[in-house]
Amino acid sequence: MRYGKFDDEQREYVIDRPDTPLPWINYLGTDEYFGIVSNTAGGYSFYRDAKLRRLTRYRYNNAPFDIGGRYLYLRDDASGDFWSPSWQPTRSTLDEYECRHGLSYTRIASARSGIRAETLYFVPLGETLEVWRTKVTNERDTAAELSLFSSVEFCLWDAQDDATNFQRNFNTGQVEVVDGVIYHKTEYRERRDHFAYFACSEPLAGFDTQRETFLGAYRGWDQPAAVERGAAFDSVANGWQPMGSHHVKLSLAPGESREVIFVLGYAENPRAEKFDPPGSQTVNKRYVRPVIERWLRPETVAEGFAKLGAYWERLLGNLQVTTPDADTDRMVNIWNAYQCMVTFNMSRSASFYESGIGRGMGFRDSNQDLLGFVHIIPERARERILDIAGTQKETGGAYHQYQPLTKRGNNDIGEGFNDDPLWLVLGVSAYLKETGDLSILDAPVPFDNAPGSEVPLYEHLRRSVQYTQDRLGPHGLPLIGRADWNDCLNLNCFSETPGEPFQTTENVSGGSAESVFIAGQFVLAAKELAAIAELRALDGEAAEYRAAAEKMTGVILEHGWDGAWFRRAYDFHGNPIGSGENDEGQIFVEPQGMCVLGGVGLDDGLAAQALRSVADRLATPHGIVLQQPAYTSYRIELGEISSYPPGYKENAGIFCHTNPWIMIAEAMVGNGDGAFDYYKRINPSAREEISELHRCEPYVYAQMIAGKDAATHGEAKNSWLTGTAAWNFVAITQWILGIRPELAGLRVDPVLPGSWEGFRATRAYRGATYEITVRKPAGSSGRVAYLIVDGERVDGTVVPPAAAGKVVQVEAVVEG
């Protein structure tokens, strides 16, 4: 069952009923000012940091699930009937409803008793504000006297404090209403640097800024007193819950439309003028007033929206494909690329499943997000790499997370995830392959942001690899630390009192548990770093990295191979995990993917054997589960993984992030049918028909789909902010379609399903444009035999780099 449809032409998903199984959301903003918006206008906004600069309040995990947002109310002043044109929060019956989620904008349209309303929400490029443009049309054959109310609830900036520190916060809220603009200035007394504003293009019949007055005591957003009585109270908040609401009266003749624009924005006074006007308690409006006036004009809004469209047209133009498969085209050309941009911007901070106050930017996560984003805006990838590397410690170790506003490592979780540093090598390598910009390696980057500690970025990469080499365990495999990629595999936990589920993490850094996953990742990273060292003419060093990779490969083959698949780890006591010797958790997906990505087992058939084991033991019609058999009880020596019920999350859920590793591995062993089959199983567009089971948005990947041991097998959870986005993009575009940036140039080496007869693609790469055509006899599962580049035959599969600005025709010929 579907709840909408794709409109590929407009690059939109069109939701045709408001009661989707879960809020189906979208993101506003591309750079600094961001918002989350659901299909019923729920969500919130923030400036740069969802924790520290939250503009509007949102209460997570509510009932109904999604309440609080950018709500408008319409009231028929003749009858007193009122409703929400976005359905929530009044949930009044709508005669028509449609929500179009597009690229960084959302449009919600509806009609009730002859009154149509259509609201466009977007953040203009380069601005720190959002626009709501509402068009109200009277489709009746009589005149309509209407009231339109806007509403937002302000957050007192630090979202965590806002949600907890009520004894203070019920006293601090302050607003100012000047010339119809509502300014939210809590914190302005002490800081005088930032405030929010909420403005409306029409003359106001009234306003409200105190939530309890607007709603009325003991009432919710579904029945605001001001809306019910048809008149605002002109309330001014002193403490409690500051909010913003405008009341506009509209008299519409039959067939008449009126456009009303609301602007919600964030302003920061220039540093030097923080205290201007001196001693004054009023917000400094000098800079913001012209901005507000500009964005309340319909021409500015129309132009700003057109620019946003052109921006996305240009970004997506960097890679467009035409294949025989509509789900592939739609995801590669539109939605997966878009999700990669969103994960790049948000890391794991703000979604409907990440509260914006928890995880900030992840060292591991953001490095992986780069893989799917770097071709979209390489300059921003460069900046991000330098930010991430600047949080690295001198030991090569990494804070697991950092705060976007301060760019400082976040001590909440600390360090000791021993895979973290290696992801930096993989992120930088992806950047170099895309751009060829070797200068980044010489960019000075501090350790732990300490001034004066700067060394070239290349030195950070060395330390990342050294970090693993300095931490090898009893079998010569890398120590796992607190956990590796699998946050929940905590193998250095033990019970101090036998039989008691007491867990200590004190010994984690010194714990002796080892990870085969990190071993595979090390082999991959060491080879990548060797290639980078060669580019710097450091041949001796390159040879050392290659030797280290080879040595680790040997260790994996000796201690990490279980007979038919790669083992996962050794626990604190030296027992294998992910082995036939275990009663549960005998085979894990991650090392099968990562070891093959590192090239382990490719020459001797072990890779193919590991992949057969994945197919036999882990694959389901809904994707590949993380491990089998699921843990049926909690086990102290395994940690959080066994805290999940079987089939969910890391305990044998379909952890989608890992599936593309297997797709890539299948492509590496030449199995195009297998790789593409796995790709389709979790492709959200291909799952649209089962939306009532899948439940999450059909246009983006979710982190997890419940596995075969779960009661709700096939149900997705935690959509949007997941490494699944970047890795699936890499799997389909670079390995299955085979258009793969390498240090030497662009490789075209697809591994396609047998039934395909080829495909076409346009790829921007290092300033030139490549028009690629792949021709393949149907039924063949062969590989590219040679390329024809601008009419000349080229042996091999690497297209020689072209001058910037050139358009290069590439034909890849697959022989039968």
Strands 144-157 and 54-56, how do they pair?
A: antiparallel
Of these, 365, 688, 715, 811, which contacts ligand NOJ (CB under 6 A)?
365
- Give min distance, CB of 201 to ligand NOJ, in A: 41
Name the token pair of 241: 């819950």
End-to-end, the C-alpha distance of the chain in Å comes to 40
Contact yes or no for 66/40 (Cβ under 8 A): yes
Q: 768-807: which residues touch ligand BGC (CB under 6 A)? A: none
Distances (CA, A) of 68 to 90, 153, 227: 12, 8, 16
Peptide bond into 629 cis (omega under 30): yes
Q: 650-679: which residues touch ligand BGC (CB under 6 A)? A: 650
- Give min distance, CB of 613 to ligand BGC, in A: 24
Q: Count of residues binding ligand NOJ (CB under 6 A)?
A: 9
| Sequence-ordered alpha helix ranges (H) in 359-419 | 363-373, 378-389
Q: Does 484 bind ligand BGC (CB under 6 A)?
A: no
- Give min distance, CB of 648 to ligand BGC, in A: 9
The interface partner of residue 364, options being ligand BGC, ligand NOJ, none and the CB cut-off 5 to 8 Å by kind, is ligand NOJ
The interface partner of residue 365, options being ligand BGC, ligand NOJ, none and the CB cut-off 5 to 8 Å by kind, is ligand NOJ
Our answer to whether residue 709 is catalytic in this structure is no
Candidate segments 45-53, 401-409, 459-467, 479-487, binder of ligand NOJ by CB under 6 A: 479-487
Q: 633-662: which residues touch ligand NOJ (CB under 6 A)? A: 650
Contact yes or no for 254/102 (Cβ under 8 A): no
- Give min distance, CB of 486 to ligand NOJ, in A: 5
What are residue 761's DSSP bridge partners? 321, 772
The interface partner of residue 262, options being ligand NOJ, ligand BGC, none and the CB cut-off 5 to 8 Å by kind, is none
- Give min distance, CB of 684 to ligand NOJ, in A: 18
**Spatial separation of the C-alpha atoms in residues 118 and 109, rounded to whole Å:** 4
Would you give the DSSP letter of residue 472?
Answer: B
- Give min distance, CB of 400 to ligand BGC, in A: 8
Contact yes or no for 803/809 (Cβ under 8 A): no
Distances (CA, A) of 191 to 54, 155, 196: 16, 16, 14
CA 230 to chain centre: 41
User: In terms of CB distance, is 246 or 348 closer to ligand NOJ?
Assistant: 348
User: In terms of CB distance, is 192 or 649 closer to ligand BGC?
Assistant: 649
- Given the residues 234, 387, 487, 677, select the one marked as catalytic: 487
The interface partner of residue 485, options being ligand BGC, ligand NOJ, none and the CB cut-off 5 to 8 Å by kind, is ligand NOJ
Contact yes or no for 39/22 (Cβ under 8 A): no
- Give min distance, CB of 718 to ligand BGC, in A: 8
Helix-strand-coil percent breakdown of the chain, rounded to 5?
30, 25, 40
**Spatial separation of the C-alpha atoms in residues 561 and 557, rounded to whole Å:** 5
Candidate segments 49-57, 58-66, 139-147, 486-494, binder of ligand NOJ by CB under 6 A: 486-494
- Give min distance, CB of 360 to ligand NOJ, in A: 11
**Spatial separation of the C-alpha atoms in residues 114 and 96, rounded to whole Å:** 10
Q: Does 623 bind ligand NOJ (CB under 6 A)?
A: no
Q: 564-603: which residues touch ligand NOJ (CB under 6 A)? A: none
Candidate segments 93-101, 209-217, 358-366, 776-784, binder of ligand NOJ by CB under 6 A: 358-366
**Spatial separation of the C-alpha atoms in residues 757 and 754, rounded to whole Å:** 8
User: In terms of CB distance, is 134 or 718 closer to ligand BGC?
Assistant: 718
Strands 129-138 and 619-620, how do they pair?
A: unpaired
Of these, 100, 567, 649, 681, which contacts ligand BGC (CB under 6 A)?
649
- Give min distance, CB of 789 to ligand BGC, in A: 44
- Give min distance, CB of 717 to ligand NOJ, in A: 12
Q: Count of residues binding ligand BGC (CB under 6 A)?
A: 5
Of these, 487, 534, 584, 677, which contacts ligand NOJ (CB under 6 A)?
487
Q: Does 728 bind ligand NOJ (CB under 6 A)?
A: no
User: In terms of CB distance, is 348 or 567 closer to ligand NOJ?
Assistant: 348
**Spatial separation of the C-alpha atoms in residues 386 and 400, rounded to whole Å:** 16
What are residue 564's DSSP bridge partners? none
Contact yes or no for 664/675 (Cβ under 8 A): yes
Of these, 53, 70, 194, 364, which contacts ligand NOJ (CB under 6 A)?
364
175 SS3 class: strand
| Length of the chain (residues) | 816
User: In terms of CB distance, is 332 or 388 closer to ligand NOJ?
Assistant: 388
Q: Does 747 bind ligand BGC (CB under 6 A)?
A: no
Q: Does 486 bind ligand NOJ (CB under 6 A)?
A: yes
**Spatial separation of the C-alpha atoms in residues 515 and 594, rounded to whole Å:** 11
The residue nearest ligand NOJ at its CB is 487
User: In terms of CB distance, is 364 or 471 closer to ligand NOJ?
Assistant: 364
* Residue type for position 129: L
**Spatial separation of the C-alpha atoms in residues 445 and 458, rounded to whole Å:** 9
User: In terms of CB distance, is 429 or 486 closer to ligand NOJ?
Assistant: 486
Cβ neighbors of 309 (< 8 A, separation 6 or more) are 103
691 SS3 class: helix
User: In terms of CB distance, is 308 or 350 closer to ligand NOJ?
Assistant: 350
CB environment 129-152: b (16+ within 10 A), e (fewer)? bbbbbbebbbeeeeebebbbbbbb
User: In terms of CB distance, is 131 or 489 closer to ligand NOJ?
Assistant: 489
Handedness of CA 131, 132, 137, 143 (dihedral sign): negative
Q: Does 487 bind ligand BGC (CB under 6 A)?
A: yes
User: In terms of CB distance, is 364 or 740 closer to ligand NOJ?
Assistant: 364
- Give min distance, CB of 723 to ligand NOJ, in A: 6
The interface partner of residue 538, options being ligand NOJ, ligand BGC, none and the CB cut-off 5 to 8 Å by kind, is none
Q: Does 488 bind ligand BGC (CB under 6 A)?
A: yes
Q: Does 329 bind ligand BGC (CB under 6 A)?
A: no
Q: Locate the DSSP E strands across 204-349.
A: 206-210, 242-252, 257-268, 319-322
Candidate segments 3-11, 261-269, 361-369, 501-509, binder of ligand NOJ by CB under 6 A: 361-369
User: In terms of CB distance, is 358 or 476 closer to ligand NOJ?
Assistant: 358
Distances (CA, A) of 289 to 100, 196, 197, 292, 659: 31, 12, 10, 5, 50
200 SS3 class: strand
Residue 350: name the closest of 718, 697, 18, 727 by CA.
Answer: 718
Q: 664-693: which residues touch ligand NOJ (CB under 6 A)? A: none
764 CB-side CA count, 13 A: 14
Q: Does 362 bind ligand NOJ (CB under 6 A)?
A: yes
- Give min distance, CB of 351 to ligand NOJ, in A: 11
The interface partner of residue 486, options being ligand NOJ, ligand BGC, none and the CB cut-off 5 to 8 Å by kind, is ligand NOJ
What are residue 137's DSSP bridge partners? 116, 257
CA-based radius of gyration for the chain: 28
**Spatial separation of the C-alpha atoms in residues 588 and 629, rounded to whole Å:** 9
Q: Does 348 bind ligand NOJ (CB under 6 A)?
A: yes
- Give min distance, CB of 487 to ligand NOJ, in A: 4
Name the token pair of 196: 């929010």
The interface partner of residue 694, options being ligand BGC, ligand NOJ, none and the CB cut-off 5 to 8 Å by kind, is none
Q: Does 100 bind ligand NOJ (CB under 6 A)?
A: no
Residues that are catalytic: 487
Give the interface with ligand BGC as residue ranges (CB under 6 A). 487-488, 640, 649-650
Q: Where do contacts with ligand NOJ occur on this chain (CB under 6 A)?
A: 348, 362, 364-365, 485-488, 650
